[in-house]
Structure 1
């Protein structure tokens, strides 16, 4: 029965169109946003059309992400409401590349691809020297390394509240008295997301390790998802991921998220 159940889940995943997979990717990413904001004690709201928060966002996080490619009117209303609340245009993740916001005072930060891998295509080998972050001291060392890898900020982005969230795992690879690589894995009902992959040495092996960790962290029957661009997208493609949609990150032309 167990084997048949797992096979049915995999077949169901194969039946999803790329458009449906992109929606699942966007929803999983919104789950991570929600967890990060709530770990900071920040308010948020979620509808079928979008996730948003009118609080000052942590560095590298937007105030809004879209969840439905066809709800553009509702999303534009929310952008306007957030602009009024924040006193500036919000950082905005256009999850389906539906908007051109240049004439509305935004600038395009970058475009990327949602990526998807079926569960049966990924090896479930747990890499050595990697550990799950479980306490404040380890989290501080992990975040220090993450910032060194190309995300500089004086603020604490990842807080202790994340460590008690059963759907969030933060992993780091030990090196001397700190970490030289890391990633975050988050579980949603229909997928497991991989994000914040970094390596101080810049070695491609970190992508394979992150995928292995995500596979063993939660249900092996769930597909793996995320978003990447450039060389990182190439590395994930080599590991069996396929692009299933496009997203864009928009910033206020006044600067900042």
Structure 2
């Protein structure tokens, strides 16, 4: 299995779920484009393969003054087309299963009020679509200690892998938190490799918890002033 390409495809699946209206997949040019406006913090377009044409991407997004691109292989130079680099990150994956025992205190959220509290703790700009609570491919996970939400993550399952995103922890050891997340995801989606992407301290914590570095990605942003 090409774990990197599976991670890219899984992430596009997640973007389509959250953006509600899905998107358009152009396999010829290797671009996924969200239909309409994306949800906050989500890209307008994602590259599906390496070597995508920067000019083609620019043309696809020509009608959008403010937009962003997830350059999945960090090999598209969009600066000449009015974009600036927002951040770089690394794709991560774990194929051998979690090293930690199944932790206690974690649960799968099922109620709207739980989701609202979870999104506030995760510092998201708006509540995720309520329909995700009933989607069989998604688990919104929360860890509770003495009745208080202390950590969380999202898992979305596709054909070959499970993606994790929005991992957060309120205090505590980030490395231990990432180890727990991997174990909880394996409980709900056993036998599948776990993938995602991170940068900064969360990347360090994920690698320390047993994830492997699969390669770089880059996010580009074009604002109305550019």
- Could you state the TM-score of these two structures normalised by the residue count of structure 2? 0.90
2:50 — aligned with what?
69
> Do residues 187 (structure 1) and 147 (structure 2) align?
no
Matched, 1:32 2:14: yes
Instruction: Give the corresponding residue for 2:181.
Output: 210
The separation in 2 between residues aligned to 1:255 and 1:195, in whole angstroms, is 30
Relative to 1, partners in 2 of residues 1:69 and 1:133: Cα closer, same or farther, differing over 3 Å? same
CA contact (8 A) 2:111 2:133 kept: yes
Size of the alignment, in residue pairs?
223
Counterpart CA distance in 2 for 1:78 and 1:172 is 37
Structure 1 residue aligned with 2:212: 242
Partner of 1:5: none
Per-residue CA deviation, residues 201-228 of structure 1 (Å, 9 max, x unaligned), is 15322211111111111132x2111111
Q: Which runs of 4+ in 1 moved over 4 A?
A: 175-178
CA pair 255-125 structure 1, distance change in 2 beyond 3 A? farther
| Equivalent of residue 109 in structure 1, options 76, 86, 93 | 86
The 3-state SS of whatever aligns with 2:62 is helix
Unaligned regions of 5+ residues in structure 1, if any?
Answer: 1-15
RMSD over equivalenced CA pairs, Å: 2.1
CA contact (8 A) 2:97 2:193 kept: no
Q: Distance in 2 between matches of 1:136 and 1:236?
A: 29
Greater share of helix residues, 1 or 2?
1
Q: In 2, are the aligned partners of 1:79 and 1:90 still within 8 Å (CA)?
A: no
Distance 2:173 2:209 in 1: 15
Matched, 1:44 2:20: no
Write out per-residue CA displacement over residues 79-100 of structure 1, whole angstroms, 9 at most, x where no aligned residue.
Answer: 423331x3x1421100001112
Kindly state the Cα deviation for residue 161 of structure 1 after the two structures are TM-superposed: 1.0
Higher strand share: 2
TM-score, length of structure 1 as denominator length: 0.80
Please say if residues 53 and 63 of structure 1, whose CA atoms lie closer than 8 Å, have aligned partners that are also in contact.
yes
How far is the alpha carbon of 1:128 from its aligned partner?
Answer: 1.0
How far does residue 29 in structure 1 lie from its aligned partner after superposition?
Answer: 0.7
User: What does residue 40 of structure 2 align with?
Assistant: 59
Partners of 1:212 and 1:122 lie apart in 2 by: 5
